[in-house]
């Protein structure tokens, strides 16, 4: 099996563009700009200006215009100008996408060494450039046997960049690639046991301890929601718990990350239509995100205590599967009438949120490909954000902004709780179509008590439906960067109830 990704060697350069020992020079270009770097203007300016005049290149986001460098004394043989749109609208996401677009082009043209030539005075933007190049060095075809082995970038030089910011970007990009590889894996390869083992291996970095609970231990803990979903599968469930507690972390807050780990979702007895069901291998994207985020947090040695919990199982329609109308008993003591077995993610997260609190979490975030309703509401551009209190939701929203990932808050008004009522149990798991993303979040809220909690519904953003200039089709690794930024903000007081 061929490799899915490699991480290029990153370094800073302070030399002039002509002296950069690379095959490709990458220069950002924004709408309305008129001047290339002085030296580069001498060898490529006329060609670029001609392209602009005839409308071939306008500087729109991730537009690329490549030209050869034939002047003597230049080590690079080619230059590419990458569009960033309007400069006053530039965000972290913009530069990450620009760098990724250049990286993918360099790989297609088999140019192993790239230099990014730009002003680099903002560490956050420098970090995003490194993330973009790391993400570009990812290949979805690692099960292909007939194609040539993928070509990867070997070196990325960032002009004038802060070395610490570059290293942070390398770690986050590599961790996102690890998550993408897990999410892309087919269900016959990534069973619950395999997800737990591989998740522990991904997070096996200094300072992280891992524990895997098997079905007997889950039964001892009375995790009836997770075990109930698992009943229809021949594959036994697992729960992965990761713990990072550095000695320099303050003793108070502990961030608890809980990720949905459904390695394949048929819908159970409430079976899904066959069209598109193959995509349901990505129903563990939330679990992959929290594993990768904890890895990046530990590698960056952030002074905050963090635990990650991933309850993992398949949702299958076997002879012992949960039936609509069954009642399950969670480890928290809450009982649930299952009226839709395809609303299984919130069930396993209920037991996962309880276990995170048992391990000492004081602030909770869960990440899940939870509802199609969130895709209807926000499309495939934005992650749904729910939670309480408002200060905790604001902290997560700010972290997403710094990370260059898009989230949008949706309400959790008390009236939505009414739809969860059951005649025979504490609540039903699926009140129906109206406000489906909100009522799913309201269900999860029942398991968190008074702790600060946020829920990220990544059903629309975990998977790229089509290839773009900056990403191939497939898993995106969304929310890894946001969770790392949230952990970095632990130095600022986090809200409490």
**What pLDDT, on the 0 to 100 scale, is given for residue 104?**
98
Give the CA radius of gyration of the chain.
Answer: 24
* Other beta carbons within 10 Å of 283: 25
Which two structure tokens, joined as six digits, stand for 263? Answer: 């390695």
Q: Which region, left, alpha or beta, applies to residue 276 given φ > 0 means left and ψ of -120 to 50 means alpha? A: left
pLDDT score at 422: 97
Q: Is residue 172 part of a domain?
A: no
**Residue 310's pLDDT is what?**
99
Say yes or no to pLDDT of 90 above 90: no
Same domain, 342 and 463: yes
Is residue 37 scored above 80 in pLDDT?
no
Instruction: Please check whether residues 147 and 228 belong to one and the same domain.
Output: no
Only one residue has tokens 């994207």, namely 285
Identify the H or E element spanning 437: helix 436-445
pLDDT tens digits, 45-76: 888 888 888 889 988 999 999 999 988 999 99
- HSE value, Cβ hemisphere, 13 Å, CA-based, for 372: 9
Pair (201, 128) in one structural domain: no
Over range 316-336, report the average pLDDT. 98
Task: Please report, for the domain that includes residue 315, its CATH number.
Answer: 3.40.630.10
pTM of the complete model beyond 0.75: yes
Identify any residues that bridge with 13 across adjacent strands, giving them in sequence order: 159
For 378-432, list the strands marked E by DSSP.
Answer: 383-388, 407-409, 427-428
Tell me how crowded residue 60 is: count the other CB atoms within 10 A of its CB: 13
Paired residues of 212 in beta bridges: 240
Q: Cα 273 vs. chain centroid, distance in angstroms?
A: 27
251 CB-near residues (< 8 Å, 6+ apart): none
Helices in 300-410 by DSSP H: which ranges? 345-358, 372-378, 390-403
Instruction: Summarize pLDDT for 361-416 with one digit per residue, the tens.
Output: 999 999 999 999 999 999 999 999 999 999 999 999 999 999 999 999 999 999 99
User: Is 346 an active-site residue?
Assistant: yes
Q: What confidence tens digit (pLDDT) does each residue in 252-296 have? A: 899 999 999 999 999 999 999 999 999 999 999 999 999 999 999
Query: What's the pLDDT at 15?
Result: 84
Of the candidates 480, 24, 491, the residue with the CA atom closest to the CA atom of residue 289: 480
pLDDT higher for 338 or 146? 338
Q: 18-32, 188-202, 427-441: which has the minimum mean pLDDT? A: 18-32
Side-chain-side CA neighbours of 250 within 13 Å: the count stands at 13
Question: Are 321 and 404 contained in the same domain?
Answer: yes
Q: Pick from 285, 301, 314: which is nearest to 176 by CA?
A: 285
Statement to judge: residues 305 and 343 lie in one domain:
yes
The CATH number of the domain where 85 resides is what? 3.40.220.10
pLDDT in tens, 444-471: 999 999 999 999 999 999 999 999 999 9
348 and 200, same structural domain? yes
> Is residue 40 predicted with pLDDT exceeding 90?
no
Model pLDDT for residues 211-265, shown as the tens digit of each residue: 999 999 999 999 999 999 999 999 999 999 999 999 999 888 999 999 999 999 9
Adjacent-strand bridge partners of 453: 364, 388
Residue 66 placed within a domain: yes
For residue 78, give its domain range: 9-161
> Is 215 a member of any domain?
yes
Domain count, the chain: 2
Q: Does residue 257 form part of some domain?
A: yes
Residue whose C-alpha is closest to residue 340's, from 444, 278, 411, 429: 429
74 part of a folded domain:
yes
348, burial (CB in 10 Å: exposed 0-12, middle 13-18, buried 19+): buried
Q: What percent of the chain has pLDDT over 70?
A: 100
Catalytic residue, candidates 107, 168, 198, 346: 346
Q: Which of 87, 272, 323, 406 is catalytic?
A: 272
Asked if 479 and 459 touch (Cβ cutoff 8 Å), the reply is no
Assess if residue 175 is contained within a domain: no
**Could you tell me if residue 181 is inside a domain?**
no
In DSSP terms, 450 is beta-bridged to none
Strand residues in 160-253 grouped as ranges (E) = 208-213, 238-244
Residue ending a domain, among 161, 178, 211, is: 161
| Mean pLDDT, residues 117-136 | 91
Helix 192-202 and helix 163-184: axis angle, to 10°? 170
Based on the fold, state whether residues 74 and 118 are members of the same structural domain. Answer: yes
pLDDT > 80? residue 491: no
**Element counts in the chain: helices (H) and strands (E):** 13, 20
Task: Read off the pLDDT of residues 151-168 as tens digits, 9 standing for 90 and up.
Answer: 999 999 998 889 999 999
pLDDT of residue 125: 92
Confidence of residue 149 (pLDDT cuts 50, 70, 90): confident
Mean pLDDT, the chain, rounded, equals 95
Same domain, 392 and 484: yes
Give the C-alpha distances (Å, rounded to integers) separating 10 from 21, 64, 162, 289, 308: 13, 22, 11, 24, 29
Pick from 86, 99, 88: which is nearest to 125 by CA?
99
CA atoms within 13 A of residue 404's CA, in its CB half-sphere: 22
Q: Are residues 486 and 355 in the same domain?
A: yes
Q: Is residue 180 part of a domain?
A: no
The predicted model gives 299-318 an average pLDDT of 98
176 contacts 455 by C-beta, under 8 angstroms: no
* Region 322-335 average pLDDT: 98
Mean pLDDT of 483-489: 97
Residues 296 and 419 occupy one common structural domain: yes
- Show which of 161, 177, 212 is a domain's final residue: 161
Strand runs (DSSP E) across 245-347, as ranges? 254-259, 261-265, 305-315, 327-329, 335-337
Strands 155-159 and 113-116 turn out to be parallel
348 within 8 A of 240, measured Cβ to Cβ: no
Place of tokens 């550095």: 246
Rounded CA separation 385/367 (Å): 10
- 150 plus 219 within the same structural domain: no
* pLDDT on residue 2: 84
> Is 272 known to be catalytic?
yes
**493 pLDDT band (50/70/90 cuts)?**
confident
Let me know whether 329 and 426 are in one domain.
yes
Higher pLDDT, 41 or 12: 12
- Given pLDDT bands bounded at 50, 70 and 90, which one contains residue 120? low
């Amino acid at each position: 099996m061929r490799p899915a990704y490699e991480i290029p060697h990153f370094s800073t350069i302070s030399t002039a563009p002509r002296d950069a020992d690379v095959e490709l020079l990458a220069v950002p270009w924004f709408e309305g700009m008129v001047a290339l770097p002085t030296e580069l203007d001498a060898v490529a300016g006329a060609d670029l200006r001609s392209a602009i005049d005839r409308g071939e290149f306008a500087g729109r986001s991730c537009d690329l215009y490549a030209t050869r460098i034939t002047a003597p004394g230049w080590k690079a043989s080619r230059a590419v100008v990458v569009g960033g749109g309007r400069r006053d609208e530039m965000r972290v996401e913009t530069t990450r996408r620009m760098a990724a677009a250049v990286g993918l082009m360099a790989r297609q043209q088999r140019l192993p060494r790239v230099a990014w030539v730009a002003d680099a005075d903002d560490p956050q933007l420098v970090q995003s450039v490194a993330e973009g190049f790391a993400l570009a060095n990812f290949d979805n075809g690692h099960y292909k046997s007939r194609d040539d082995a993928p070509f990867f970038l070997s070196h990325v030089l960032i002009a004038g960049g802060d070395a610490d910011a570059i290293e942070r970007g390398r770690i986050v990009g590599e961790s996102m690639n690890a998550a993408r590889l897990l999410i892309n894996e087919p269900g016959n390869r990534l069973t619950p046991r395999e997800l737990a083992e591989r998740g522990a291996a991904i997070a096996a970095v200094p300072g992280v301890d891992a524990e895997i609970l098997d079905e007997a231990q889950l039964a001892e803990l009375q995790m009836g929601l997770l075990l109930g979903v698992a009943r229809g599968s021949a594959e036994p469930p697992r729960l992965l718990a990761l713990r990072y507690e550095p000695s320099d972390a303050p003793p108070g807050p502990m961030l608890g990350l809980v990720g949905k780990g459904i390695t394949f979702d048929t819908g159970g007895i409430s079976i899904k239509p066959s069209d598109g069901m193959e995509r349901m291998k990505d129903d563990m994207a939330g679990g992959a995100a929290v594993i990768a985020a904890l890895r990046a947090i530990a590698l960056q040695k952030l002074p905050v205590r963090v635990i990650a919990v991933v309850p993992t199982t398949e949702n299958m329609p076997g002879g012992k599967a949960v039936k609509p109308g069954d009642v399950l008993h969670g480890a928290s003591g809450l009982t649930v009438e299952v009226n839709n077995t395809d609303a299984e993610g919130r069930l396993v997260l209920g037991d996962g949120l309880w276990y995170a609190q048992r391990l000492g979490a004081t602030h909770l975030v869960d990440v899940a490909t939870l509802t199609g309703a969130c895709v209807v509401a926000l499309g495939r551009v934005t992650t749904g954000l729910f939670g309480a209190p408002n200060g905790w939701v604001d902290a997560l929203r700010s972290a997403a902004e710094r990370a260059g990932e898009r989230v949008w808050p949706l309400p959790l008004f008390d009236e939505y709780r009414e739809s969860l009522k059951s005649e025979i149990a504490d609540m039903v798991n699926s009140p129906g179509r109206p406000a489906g993303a909100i009522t799913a979040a309201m269900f999860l809220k029942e398991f968190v008590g008074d702790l600060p909690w946020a829920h990220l519904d990544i059903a629309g953003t975990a998977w790229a439906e089509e290839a773009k200039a900056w990403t191939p089709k497939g898993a995106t690794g969304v929310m890894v960067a946001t969770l790392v930024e949230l952990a970095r903000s632990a130095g600022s007081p986090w809200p409490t109830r």
